[in-house]
Each structure stands twice: as C-alpha cells, then as structure tokens.
Amino acid sequence: MIDVLIIAEGTYPYVSGGVSTWIHQLITNMKDVKFGILFLGSRQEDYKNIKYKLPENLTYFKKIFIFDDYSFKKYRKSYSCKGNPEIFMSLFEENIKDYDNFLNPDFYKKNFPYECFLQNKNIYYFIENLYQKRGYNLHFSDFFWTIRNVLTPLWYIFNEIDDVFNEDIALVHSPSTGYAGLLGASIKQKMNIPFILTEHGIYTKERKIDIVQAKWIKEFPMFYNYYDLDPLKRVWTDFFTNLGKISYDKADKIVSLYEGARKIQISLGAKPEKTVIIPNGIDVNMLASLRKDSIPKRIAFLGRVVKIKDVKTLIKAFKILSLKAKDVECWIVGPEDEEPDYAKECRELVKNFELENKVIFKGFMNIKDLFPHVGLVTLTSISEGMPMVILESFAAGIPFVATDVGACRQLIEGGLNEEDIAIGPAGFVTKVGDASALAESYYKILYDEALYKTFQKNAIERVERFYTKENMINSYKHLYDELKESYGRYRLSA
C-alpha cells in the first residue's frame, strides 16, 4: 500500500539540491503518509551514494535507469513490429494531439518492441522523413542520435514498470514534467488514480538553457555558417514541450511555485482550473533566532558567481553606492569554481573600482554564520525561479533587494493574494541590469531606519503567514486528501 508515489527524475535521494530537499521535506513532515519513490536515473554508475537519511514512512523504492544498456543486452532474434512508425512523428510536431499510445506500456512491448525500435527499417526511415519534413540542414548523424536518444528512455521506463502497476498506489505525484511527467500520466491512466504535477522550474524553459549550454552540440568554427545549430535544439524543445503537454492534460492538479510560473504553464497549454500555486516553505523557527535590532551596514549577495547571476551589475551598483555612503561593505557569498573566468573578471572589476577593501569574496558560508553580520541581502540575477534565499532572509528579519525575475516581485512586494499585498513590501524590486536603481534601493534601506523597520516587520509577517514549511505541507496534505476523495479513496489524515 503506497499512499503517494513520487517520481523523482534525477533527484531524490541520490542528488542533493532544491527538488530533493523539497521531496525530503514532504516525506519527513507527513509521518502518517506512506510514500514511495520511483527514481529515474540516467545510468547506474552516475549515482553512487544516497544523500539523505531515508525516512521510515518511505516504504517503497524503485530505481529505473533510462540510459543503461544492461536490460537489453540480449537482443531477441525474433520480434515483430506491428505499428506504423509515423505515429512517432506527432511527438516532434508543434501541437501533439493523439498521444494515448505513448502512455500505454503495451505500445512499447507489443507494437514496437525495443529491438524493433532499434533495428526496424521503417523506424529508420521515419527518422529520415522527420528530418526531411522539417527541412533540416544539419549533420544527419547528430540528428539521428538525438532522436534515438530522446526516445530510447521510453522503452527503458515502460519495460521496467510492470511491478509498479502491481502495487496498490493511491496517488502519483511528479515533481517535474519530462519523462517523469509522462510516466505519471501513464500510471494515472492505467491505474485510474489521481495525478499531481508540481513544477519547480519550467522544464522546457530550463531545458532550453541547458541545450544552449550543452557541450556536445559541437562547435564547427569552419562550418559555422553552413550549420544552423538551432534546429537540433528545436527538436529537443518540441519533444519535451510535448511530453509536458501530455502530463498537463492528464494531471488532476498542476502546481507551480508562484504566479509567473502559473502563467507560463497556462500559456503552454495547462487548463487554468487545474493550476494551483503552492509556494515552497522554509523552517522559519530555525532562522527566527537570528533576528536582530541593529542594522549592520553590510550587503550580502548570496549565490554562485556566474554570468546568469549578473555579479558585475552588483559590483557597479556598489560602486555608485560607495560614492554616497563611505561605511558600507559588500560580501559576495558563493562558490567561484563553476565559471572561473567570469569570477576572475568580477575580481578584476572590483580592483579597477578600487573597492578591494569593501567588496569581499567570502566563498561558501552557512547562512547562520552570515545573517548576523548583514543588514541587507540582494540578488541581481538575469533569471530565477523562486529563490529560497529571499524567504530565508525574511525569516531572519532582513529586507531584500532583487531584480524583477521569477518569483522575486511576488515575494518582496506580495502577490500571492489580496491579503499578501496588504502586508506591504519587504524590500525593493528593480529592473534587470539597472545598477543605479539598485544603488538607490540599497541606500534607501540601509540609511532610513523607519523604512528598514517597516520592511523588516513586513518580511517577517509575510514569511510566517505564507511561506512556512507547515503551510506547504498542509497545502499538499489537503491536495492529496481532496483528490483521493474525489477518486473514492479514504482520507489520509485521521
């Protein structure tokens, strides 16, 4: 008996990070709910150690590796291909319509067994047709392997899934779209149980960034003009967008973390009535002890020193600020090893501005050691989801200045509902890349004690009212109960 089956794609319990922490929180805080984890990983050797202490109410754990070749090492000599390969075309078209086949495990076992998918002539010519239909002009081999590689996991998943269908599962919950979302949709369809989809980021959007950065999309300096690399990315995004659409269609509830994300989901095809916002929550009590009355004249930037965080704009803003306010310091807290060149450029910039004594690169720090020393925390990113650091600052009674990306405005100014807006702002939101606006915001907060206290009060009120861990847990608990009841299952909590 599994109350909630979570499909963790490349996350819990092997990889630590935002989504894994979230899953761990969910499980450890619902002691009376029996959880199951279905882990989708790439290859066995990529996951060595379990990073979390597995809670007792985690009663079912299954791993599927979608790029291992162990399970199909022995090709069967005889197999039959019953389906028409053209059916796969729809997965790469702009608007997927008829997709029920892709949710049916028998489709992968009977119509197109794995050997058939790999060896059948018609499957090969389907890939040629797809290439021609889209009028591509790229290295065919890259195209061929891309199509193969994005489709192959479907066989790995659906050939390993039988014993999951034999379990007694009350609800399936996927924290992402992608393959996990498709599998969630399939389990829902087959077992007739509720399916919740939570998106922590927008999969296809982040996938787009990932693809742009992917190293294997080789650079051909010589052929650069000849090659348009974009089509290959388009193949990917179309495919993953379609997987997303299938999971949106089948999900009973589509959860996002903030309003902006919900709007993107709706624009990608999610029905508005299915969408619901459940923000992440933090352990407020743990950070409440760090609150203080003094206002240290020190700004902290918390995050990796990478391009997407736009640290250079922060340094420029601080230069402008330092002309007006002589006693301010800035700590840049976060690792610099991810983009060493960029980190080096940032340090050079500090040197050129003659700010070496005031802008200090602190490396990684625990927030418990950091927060007592800072009066203001800031983010200057070009792109964000829902940064937890804003909530953590709020819990410690520290106002925040951020650029207008992701959920930042909603968190700082209040945007969850009328009640939230009524609390008032807990900091400032500026345009992306606007150094002087940032400098002005920093100055106003640090040198206007009345404003600081108001922001501090609002910050604490907002996080305690809306963004506690308990809130998040209760929202999910209600969601679970509500859906199970509508499917005729018993309630979880007594």
Partner 1 sequence: MAGIGFQLKNLISNRSISAKLLAFGYSVVLSSGNWLISIVIIFVFSKIALVMGGNKKVVYDLNIYITNVVALALISSGFFQFEYTRFASDRIFEKKYNLIIPNYFGALFIVAIIGFISGIILGYYFFWDYNKLIFLLFAITVAISSCVFLSSALLTGLKSFRYILFSFMVSYLIAGISILYFKNNFILLVCSFYLSQNMLFLMLSYKIFKEYYSDSLFRFDFLKKPNKRILIFTGFIYYLGVWIDKYLFWFSEETSKKVIGNMASSPFYDIPITLAYISLLPGISALFLYTEAEFFEYYDLYYSAVRDFGTLEDLYYFANMLISAVRDLIFSVMRIQIIFDIIIILAQDKLFLKLLSIPKIYLPEIDIMIIAATVQLLFIVLFSIFSYFDLMKNLLKISIVFFLANFLFTYTSIKMGPYYYGYGLFFAGAISSLYAIYLLRRFLDEINYYTFVHSGKL
3-class SS of residue 30:
coil
- The one among 144, 361, 447, 487 contacting partner 1 by CB under 8 A: 144
When the beta carbons of 120 and 456 are compared against partner 1, the nearer one is 120
Give the nearest distance from C-beta 352 to partner 1 in angstroms. Answer: 34
- Distance (Å, whole) CA 132 – CA 151: 19
When the beta carbons of 120 and 410 are compared against partner 1, the nearer one is 120
140-146 contacts, C-beta under 8 A, 24 or more apart? 142/217, 142/218, 142/232, 143/232, 143/235, 146/232, 146/235, 146/236
Task: For residue 141, give both structure tokens.
Answer: 């081999």
Side chain identity at 267, as an amino acid letter? Answer: S
- The one among 178, 260, 281, 414 contacting partner 1 by CB under 8 A: 178
Side chain identity at 209, as an amino acid letter? Answer: I
- Distance (Å, whole) CA 345 – CA 153: 41
Cα-based distances in Å from 174 to 5, 66, 67, 74: 8, 17, 20, 32
When the beta carbons of 232 and 423 are compared against partner 1, the nearer one is 232
- The one among 1, 95, 220, 470 contacting partner 1 by CB under 8 A: 220
Our finding on whether 207 is near partner 1 (CB under 8 A) is yes
- Residues in CB range of 432: below 8 A, 6 or more apart: 310, 380, 381, 382, 403, 404, 405
When the beta carbons of 161 and 446 are compared against partner 1, the nearer one is 161
Our finding on whether 153 is near partner 1 (CB under 8 A) is yes
- The one among 173, 188, 200, 409 contacting partner 1 by CB under 8 A: 200
- Distance (Å, whole) CA 396 – CA 382: 25
Please report the sign of the dihedral spanned by the C-alpha atoms of residue 30, residue 31, residue 35, residue 37: positive
- The one among 210, 219, 283, 327 contacting partner 1 by CB under 8 A: 210
- Identify residues 10-69 at the interface with partner 1 (CB under 8 A): 10-11, 17, 19, 40-43, 46, 66-67
User: Where would I find the H helices in 325-434?
Assistant: 340-352, 367-370, 388-395, 408-413, 418-423
Give the nearest distance from C-beta 485 to partner 1 in angstroms. Answer: 28
Our finding on whether 86 is near partner 1 (CB under 8 A) is no
Residue 275: its H or E element:
strand 275-277
List residues bridging with 331 in a β-sheet.
300, 360
* CB 212, CB 119: distance < 8 Å: no
- The one among 44, 100, 145, 338 contacting partner 1 by CB under 8 A: 145
Our finding on whether 160 is near partner 1 (CB under 8 A) is no
Query: Cα torsion at 164, 166, 169, 173 (round to 10°)?
Result: 20
- The one among 73, 97, 215, 326 contacting partner 1 by CB under 8 A: 215
- Identify residues 104-143 at the interface with partner 1 (CB under 8 A): 118-119, 121, 123-125, 128, 131-132, 136-142
Place of tokens 């640290």: 311
Contacts with partner 1: how many residues (CB under 8 A)? 55
- The one among 54, 87, 150, 308 contacting partner 1 by CB under 8 A: 150
Contact window for partner 1 (CB under 8 A) among 202-210, 308-316, 336-344, 362-370: 202-210
- The one among 93, 167, 206, 345 contacting partner 1 by CB under 8 A: 206
Q: What residues make contact with partner 1 under the rule CB under 8 A?
A: 8-11, 17, 19, 40-43, 46, 66-67, 118-119, 121, 123-125, 128, 131-132, 136-142, 144-146, 149-150, 153, 175-176, 178-180, 200-201, 203, 206-207, 210-211, 214-217, 220, 223, 236, 240
